Structure 1
Amino acid sequence: MTTATDFQQQALRLAAQQTSPAWLADLRAQNADIWLQSAWPGRRTEDWKYTPLQALQTDGFTQWAQPSDGHEQAEWLALDAHRLVLVNGVFSEALSTALPSNLVRFDQANADQQSIITQHLGSVVDPQRHLFGALSNACVADGWLYHLGPNCQADKPLYVVHLSTPAAQPALAQQRLLVVLERHAKASVIEHYVSTAEQQNGFVNSLTELVVGENAHLHHYRLNLEEEHLLHVGGVHANLQRTAVLDAFALGQGSRLKRVDYHIRHIGEGAHLALNGIYLPRNKQRIDYHTHVEHCVPHCTTDENFRGIIADAAKAVFNGRIHIHKDAQKTLAELSNKNLLTSKTAEIDTKPELEIYADDVKCAHGATVSQLNETAMYYLQSRGVARAEAEVMLSFGFINELLQNVAEPAIQTYLRPRLASLFGNDDELARHLIHD
């Protein structure tokens, strides 16, 4: 019999302190059992062997995070959008804009909305496979439903800001979002995880479930830009119906612990997934992206590209898996992971995987690990570019292709100066990179 760790037991004690709607009780109880009975990941656990979880055990999370009295405001995207701001997991009406009627808190849902929530919440994520999904389900007391009915097109993007601030004692914050697009609906959702500048001492467990209906189209963006001491485990789980399209982009800076899982299931013929990601750990940070794309039916396509720049003594993990089920004939799937190490002490563990049980498919996967190109470096220096500036230009160029493919211009405008500042402190060079 599995013995639960101190952290597992403490998390359930925190869950018991919450007040939640009665109609969520079954989901909470079922997943509390799964969470408590699940083996704690260690170095022999394949999915976690490069990402230790000791910090969750040693930091002693004994309270829920609370909204900050000061409501410190981070820099938002300059975007005409419906902005929902959560401070330490708690809704901030003062920092949010007027919200649309199809965005509702779980505890304020009417009967029809409750029906949608109970139908889909916890059904997209597999808690047996994703341990922290079980924790999220066990702790779910509040969250947000964003629901677009048939043929509905959102008038503005939904911009969800998750702002973290430090507490007197280490605290746990829960983030939960359910997005449901019915047939022929279209929407854009941006999730932006930020923190105040001071050293953080919290743990964020975030879970997003996406239900993309027949011929619906969803743009989903997830930006993890928190201060490096914050602990974060997150997941994006999606079901794609017939001819649905999910266009997703992920970007993350590292921290003491940062793990993000993407699990996408093609369950309707003709569905398409485009998933691009960038990770940029530095100092002694860690970051881990695990992606799992399942082709369950025929005639679906996946185009997945992740690129990482690992600096200093940072460590990155990328594990990308595409699973072609036996009935998923005529699948077209490609997976690419490219990594750039900018120091001799930087480390990447990459593992692209294809698991194919159908015989009429076209699939490809690959990974590269490289250092800055000395020939290109010499060329730039021979044209009068200082070596430090040349390193910045080559590093930025490595990820620029994926940035240029981001459909929302405001995200590009927001990210470019911040990413340029990661690679160098030369203001003139930063301006050049921003406007390239």
Structure 2
Amino acid sequence: MSEFQIQSVALASQQTAPAWLSHLRQQQTETWQAAAWPGRKTEAWRYTSLAPLENQTWQLAQACSAELPDDLVLSDALRVVFVNGHFSAQLSDPLPQGVTPFSRAQPEEQVLILAGLNQTLVADKHLFASLNGALLNDGLWLHLEPGQRLAQPIYLLHLQTAQQEGELAPVRILVQLGQSAEATLLEDYRVQAPGISAVSAVTELQLGANASLQHYRLNLEEENHLHLGSVHATLAADARLQGFTLASGSRLKRLDYHLRHLGQGADLKLQGIYLPRGNQRIDYHTEVEHVVPHCTTDEVFRGVIADTAKACFNGRIHIHPQAQKTLAEMSNRNLLTSPRAEINTKPELEIYADDVKCAHGATVSQLNDEALFYMTSRGISAAEARVMLSFGFVNELVEGLALEELRVWLRPKIAAIFAQTSSLTRHLIHD
């Protein structure tokens, strides 16, 4: 075992957790202990160093009080807040039936939660999912009955206070939508202190026949915050999943998506934006498995990498032998705004069926000199022109979002990442 594995196992043994989770935690601890620690020769971790994890002494983040940030994304939504991985009733709205924190689950609900956890996971592909299970203490269960439709989006806000250096918090979400159920879920991760901290976050999405889910995930944490996150989904017949992920970089940020079409007619649209700068790192790995016929996937990721930042995108679409009549497309476009910025992109198609229509591609480019010259020749400063071109590179994905409040909130946030002064940001947004 690595030093970090030894540390985290010790932390799990010291943690007081609900008795009904103890067997699951023990199983996941054993899996975590037995897992091979990745190195530079491990293909899935070839471009991402785990040194920030290994070079820090960690302790579990504790439940505590916190204040809501001023810049909440959604106002017209059902707000559910977790602080350091623990549900905060004080900061949350009253919860309707079907929205249940693990810590408030009744015995009959605990049985259903245990039956649902880890059903979408492939343990040997996602190392840190077992770490999450070993530390599991609380989480959110969204369970909709057949035909149920939530009138409001669920705004799931994760706050980490990092009261002490080296705090680690587990976050777990289990979403189960019955036949023809519909919901919208936004995950928003925030850190309220500048010190070194980390989160292990696992989201499981289980969509029944003809169910529909819009799932958004925002990872704009502080640079010293380490994020090891994954989203796992299964889609039954005619289910529809629209996913969107946006992340800035940090010392270590690894985000995995593993999605499986298990019923004919399932449809997946997955979009992502990553914006590392400075000396930040970010690593996206996605895998979509078409197990049955007549399913569709449309995957689009765009990255703007600045300064000396490094990004990695590895997208894989796997077409199983039975998955005839599949329609699947994947696109990864990257913009390097500095000669020292770096992107490692690897789109993959693995096809074992012969009656399919699939395509994939990746591009890496720099800011267009002709466009810069055109804009500066018409009185726009060089700095402002660079911001506008960078913003335009990802704006198409932002403007396509169904949640209007999210679109409005994101525009100044993204512009501020590109801009060096607040005046540039204001000019871009208002013009």
TM range (shorter): over 0.9
Give RMSD over aligned pairs.
1.5
Summarize deviations over 1:5-36 as a string: whole Å, max 9, x none.
12112111111223333333332222211110
Q: Which residue of 2 aligns with 1:45?
A: 42
Q: Which residue of 1 aligns with 2:301?
A: 306
- Whether 2:110 is the aligned partner of 1:117: answer no
Residue 93 (structure 2) aligned to one of 86, 93, 97 = 97
- Whether 2:349 is the aligned partner of 1:359: answer no
Summarize deviations over 1:173-223 as a string: whole Å, max 9, x none.
010010110000000000001112x42311100000000110000000000
Contact 2:416 2:425 in 1 (8 A): yes
Q: Which residue of 2 aligns with 1:240?
A: 235
Question: Where in structure 1 are there 5+ consecutive unaligned residues?
Answer: none
Structure 1 runs of 4+ with >6 Å offset: none
Kindly report which structure 2 residues correspond to 1:386-397, keeping only aligned pairs within 5 A, or say none. Answer: 386-397=381-392
Q: Which residue of 2 aligns with 1:54?
A: 51
Shift of 1:77: 1.2
Kindly report which structure 2 residues correspond to 1:170-181, keeping only aligned pairs within 5 A, or say none. Answer: 170-181=166-177
Q: Which residue of 1 aligns with 2:72?
A: 76
Amino acid at match of 1:113: E
Q: Distance in 1 between matches of 2:71 and 2:422?
A: 19
Q: 1:271 to 1:99 in 2, by over 3 A?
A: same
Residue 192 (structure 1) aligned to one of 188, 192, 206 = 188
Contact 1:74 1:163 in 2 (8 A): no
Q: Which residue of 2 aligns with 1:31?
A: 28
Amino acid at match of 2:371: A
The share of aligned pairs that are identical, in percent, is 54
Kindly report which structure 2 residues correspond to 1:222-301, keeping only aligned pairs within 5 A, or say none. Answer: 222-301=217-296
Q: Distance in 1 between matches of 2:271 and 2:236?
A: 20
Amino acid at match of 1:14: L
Q: Distance in 1 between matches of 2:421 and 2:167?
A: 37
Q: Which residue of 2 aligns with 1:13?
A: 10
Find the residue that maps to 2:122 and give its secondary structure: coil
> Number of aligned pairs?
431
Find the residue that maps to 1:128 and give its secondary structure: helix
Q: Distance in 2 between matches of 1:426 and 1:228?
A: 19
Q: Distance in 1 between matches of 2:206 and 2:422?
A: 43
Q: Which residue of 1 aligns with 2:397?
A: 402
Shift of 1:246: 0.3
Q: Distance in 2 between matches of 1:248 and 1:87?
A: 24
TM-score of the aligned structures, taking structure 1 as reference length: 0.96
Q: Distance in 2 between matches of 1:21 and 1:227?
A: 31
Q: Distance in 2 between matches of 1:119 and 1:93?
A: 25
Contact 2:68 2:91 in 1 (8 A): no
Find the residue that maps to 2:317 and give its secondary structure: strand
Residue 206 (structure 1) aligned to one of 166, 191, 201 = 201
Contact 2:164 2:195 in 1 (8 A): no
Question: Where in structure 2 are there 5+ consecutive unaligned residues?
Answer: none
Kindly report which structure 2 residues correspond to 1:132-211, keeping only aligned pairs within 5 A, or say none. Answer: 132-196=128-192, 198-211=193-206
Shift of 1:85: 1.2
Residue 66 (structure 1) aligned to one of 46, 62, 69 = 62
